[in-house]
Amino acid sequence: DVKVTQSSRYLVKRTGEKVFLECVQDMDHENMFWYRQDPGLGLRLIYFSYDVKMKEKGDIPEGYSVSREKKERFSLILESASTNQTSMYLCASSENRGPDTQYFGPGTRLTVL
């Protein structure tokens, strides 16, 4: 079974703090993704990576950066957290370069005060 794990289920941070969200997949997948989920807006892609050290902006990259130093690990960084980044963050991975099944982690509920 594919397993995607996220470092925290719940996180509370203060405005201006630097925040790291970690994601690890155990199936040697090529692609990894970071989404945020907000009611009525669905899943919006923040960044994705199709190879180690490779990254591409998604639809809403502003205020975020990512790092993929190892194939199994993809980190999302909020350089200076703001209240409008309060959201559910979901990590996913998929095996192939083309559209394929994405396997999601359980999500991190981030609250920025």
Calpha distance 32→95 (Å, rounded)? 9
Listed ranges 14-22, 70-78, 79-87, 89-97: which one lies at the site for other proteins (CB under 8 A): 89-97
Judged by CB under 8 A, which of 48, 64, 76, 81 binds other proteins? 48
In the chain the first and final C-alpha atoms are separated, in Å, by 37
How far apart CA 23 and CA 108 sit, in angstroms, is 10
59 binds other proteins (CB under 8 A): yes
Is residue 99 within the footprint of other proteins (CB under 8 A)?
A: yes
Among the residue ranges 13-21, 62-70, 72-80, 100-108, the one whose residues contact other proteins (CB under 8 A): 100-108
DSSP helix/strand/coil, 58: coil
**Is residue 53 a contact point for other proteins (CB under 8 A)?**
no
**Exposure of 45 by Cβ count < 10 A (0-12 exposed, 13-18 middle, 19+ buried)?**
middle
Return the residue matching tokens 């609250």. 111
Q: Does 100 bind other proteins (CB under 8 A)?
A: yes
The residues of the shown chain that bind other proteins, judged by CB under 8 A, are: 4, 30-31, 33, 35, 40-45, 48, 50, 56, 58-59, 90, 92, 94, 96-107
